Amino acid sequence: MRAGFPLLIAALAAGCRPEAVRSPESRHALAGRIIFIGAAPRDTTLLIPEAGEVEAHTLIVDRKTRGVKNAAAWIEGLEASAPRLPSASSPALAPVMDQINYTFVPHVLAVREGEEVRFLSSDAANHNIHAHALEPENQFNIMISSAREHRHRFNRPRRLPAILIGCDLHAWMRAWIYVFNHPWFAITGPDGGFEISGLPPGNYRLGVHHADAGLRREVEVTIPCLDPDGVTIQFTDKDLAEGPAEQ
Ligand SMILES: [Cu+2]
């Protein structure tokens, strides 16, 4: 019973029952869901003359599940034991941010520090890619067309969780890139669900962030987690007060 009580408290705080302690070498997945209860923005699309109807960059809540998509979830406290990034990865496997119909696709991308990110354009129109960051090594501002691509390796932002990517030619075009110095992260799908795999047993902090809405939370989690639904992080309209995470 040495560590049983604190483990139990940490697990219950995140809505997750602790499982009997497994061997330190075992690896586990943490499932979770980010939901929003309250009045979310109603206008979730924009009508753009060049592009037609595009998704507005705002808090988008699934009506059925109340899930919040495009939020980042990550584990803190394991960075020191993170496996090294493979030095020679195929460009075909590199994370891609494309521009399709005047929209960055995906709207939110999460990568590892030092990993090569490919920026493409599938549009006939010219676009600009402007990375807004506090760190000079994470900044760039280039023109791009379907005839060329741009590659960049980001460092982990020191203060803010995500780097804002914009197109100066089309003000509604924006995206976010999260950069982590470990592999334990995920971006939520349309139902707000996420899964982070490969976690050794232990107590960690789970960070969650929605950049457009400025939602941010940290909770404690215990791995392994017996609950098949994992952790549920709930935000309400009171959490919207802080506004978007502009840089
Ligand atoms: Cu553009």
Of 155, 105, 150, residue with least CA distance to 134: 155
What's residue 119's pLDDT?
A: 96
What's residue 15's pLDDT?
A: 62
CATH of the domain at 21: 2.60.40.420
Whether 146 is covered by a domain: the verdict is yes
Whether 210 is covered by a domain: the verdict is yes
What's residue 20's pLDDT?
A: 63
The upper half-sphere exposure of residue 210, i.e. CA atoms within 13 Å in the direction of its Cβ, equals 29
Whether 247 is covered by a domain: the verdict is no
* d(CA 153, ligand 1 centre) in Å: 21
What's residue 39's pLDDT?
A: 86
Whether 200 is covered by a domain: the verdict is yes
Q: 100: Cβ–Cβ under 8 A, 6 or more apart, which residues? A: 122, 123
* d(CA 171, ligand 1 centre) in Å: 8
* d(CA 124, ligand 1 centre) in Å: 11
At 122-157, the pLDDT tens digits run: 999 999 999 999 999 999 999 998 888 999 999 999
Whether 86 is covered by a domain: the verdict is no
* d(CA 57, ligand 1 centre) in Å: 15
pTM to 2 decimals? 0.87
Number of domains in the chain: 1
At 206-222, the pLDDT tens digits run: 999 999 999 999 999 99
At 40-67, the pLDDT tens digits run: 878 888 898 888 998 888 899 999 999 9
pLDDT surpassing 90 at residue 192: yes
Identify residues whose C-beta is under 5 A from ligand 1, the ion: 127, 167, 169-170, 173
pLDDT surpassing 80 at residue 174: yes
At 233-245, the pLDDT tens digits run: 999 989 986 555 5
pLDDT surpassing 60 at residue 101: yes
Pairing status of strand 185-187 against strand 72-76? antiparallel
* d(CA 169, ligand 1 centre) in Å: 5
What's residue 84's pLDDT?
A: 85
Whether 129 is covered by a domain: the verdict is yes
Whether 162 is covered by a domain: the verdict is yes
* d(CA 103, ligand 1 centre) in Å: 8
Report the length, in residues, of the chain. 247
Give residue 23's domain range.
Answer: 4-81+93-242
* d(CA 150, ligand 1 centre) in Å: 15
